[in-house]
Amino acid sequence: DLLRIDHVGIAVPDLDAAKDFYAETFGMRVVHEETNEEQGVREAMLAVGDGTGPRLQLLAPARPDSAIAKFLDRSGPGLQQLAYTVADVEAASAALRARGLRLLYDTPRRGTAGSRINFVHPKDAGGVLVELVEPA
């Protein structure tokens, strides 16, 4: 089962410039930042409002051959993914696989802040890259 929207991910070419834009334009603050080598991203999580709701995730390429670099080349900056919180990423992945959707990974990988993640292929989800996040 999906519990809630976890975050919305936006591909950006320059993480520092994007952080400044969101701070100056919308008053959003960075609550977490890390580089995920496996995913090839530098990412920042931003709180919206009082910080109790879904977050905004800024995703910048850490390598030219990464998923985010490819997305930026093809589509330019913009919405890249919609992530849902789940209690058990293996169970959620299995349920969606059983409904005929392609999950990108056979076993979960490491996401933000020690979470465990998997993705539904965007072609099987109406053009949306859906991420499943089991928080640490």
Binding site for ligand MC0 (CB under 6 A): 9, 36, 39, 41, 43, 57, 59, 67-68, 70-71, 74, 80-81, 83, 104, 111-112, 115, 117, 119, 122-123, 127, 129, 131
Residue number with the smallest Cβ distance to ligand MC0: 111
Nearer to ligand MC0, 29 or 102 (CB): 102
Nearer to ligand MC0, 21 or 36 (CB): 36
Q: Looking up tokens 């008053």, which residue turns up?
A: 27
Distant-in-sequence contacts of 72-75, Cβ < 8 A, 24+ apart: 72/11, 72/13, 75/11
Residue 94 CB, shortest distance to ligand MC0, in Å, is 18
If residue 83 lies in a helix (H) or strand (E), which one and from where to where?
A: strand 78-86
Question: Judging by beta carbons within 10 Å of its beta carbon (0-12, 13-18, 19+), is residue 51 exposed, middle or buried?
Answer: exposed
